[in-house]
Amino acid sequence: MRIGMGRTAVGHLPRAATAGALLVGLLALASCTGTVPRSAAGTPSPTVAESAPSTVGGSGPSTVAPGGRPTSVPARVPDTLRFTGTTLTGAAFDAAALAGRPVVLWFWAPWCATCASQAWTVAEIAPKYRDTVPIVGVAGLGEQRAMKEFVTEFDLAGTPTIDDRSGVLWRRFEIVEQSTFLIIDRDGRVVHQGFLDGEALTARVAALAGA
């Protein structure tokens, strides 16, 4: 479609009428071509496909926003942290919120003597490193009542503990025995899976916090 107006005709029309005619012509051209109208500055109007993808998780490296104010970039959620669950208190748990930080998953059972010996260390260090190296319990191989009693007895109320009686997470991470510590670094890689005594666990968590 071509839009054209003679010099003489335009010259005799009032300015408002001329502007209106041009606007109608441009809208008609856009409807014929099927293109996205452009803004006054000449840039395409945003579309859904052009929108920034949503991200979930902790904060990534800091950047500087316009005006010099620091901001943070949402961390990419690695596959190792793409899981959800329910804690022993009934709260929803989404591991994606931990992205960008090292994470320790502690797989334990309520009747396990080794788990009991490690529980005091977890209860001691977990609150200290809650914001830098979160420790998350994954309770399995037992009844919920026994799991809750274990948490109470060893003062683990400050450590989030996922109720995994169905064994979904145990199978996902191929855990074959308790007590097992699975350590995920800030990039989402599993850097340790196995036994750690209290001293070794404390040292590993401290090192990750300072990395």
**CA nearest neighbour of 55 among 86, 80, 82:** 82
**CA nearest neighbour of 134 among 114, 175, 162:** 162
All domains of the chain, ordered by start, with CATH? 1-42 (no CATH), 79-210 (3.40.30.10)
H or E element at residue 123:
helix 113-125
For the ranges 62-71, 82-91, 185-194, the lowest mean pLDDT is seen at 62-71
CB 192 within 8 A of CB 199: no
β partners of residue 71: 63
For helices 198-210 and 113-125, the axis angle rounded to 10 degrees is 30
Please give the pLDDT value at position 74.
66
- Residue 70: phi and psi, rounded to 5, are -70, 145
Separation of alpha carbons 140 and 26, rounded Å:
67
Average pLDDT, the chain: 76
pLDDT digits (tens, 9 = 90+) for 114-172: 999 999 999 999 999 999 999 999 999 999 999 999 999 999 998 999 999 999 999 99
Q: Give the angle 84-86-88 at the CA atoms, nearest 5°.
A: 145
Residue with the two structure tokens 């260090």: 125
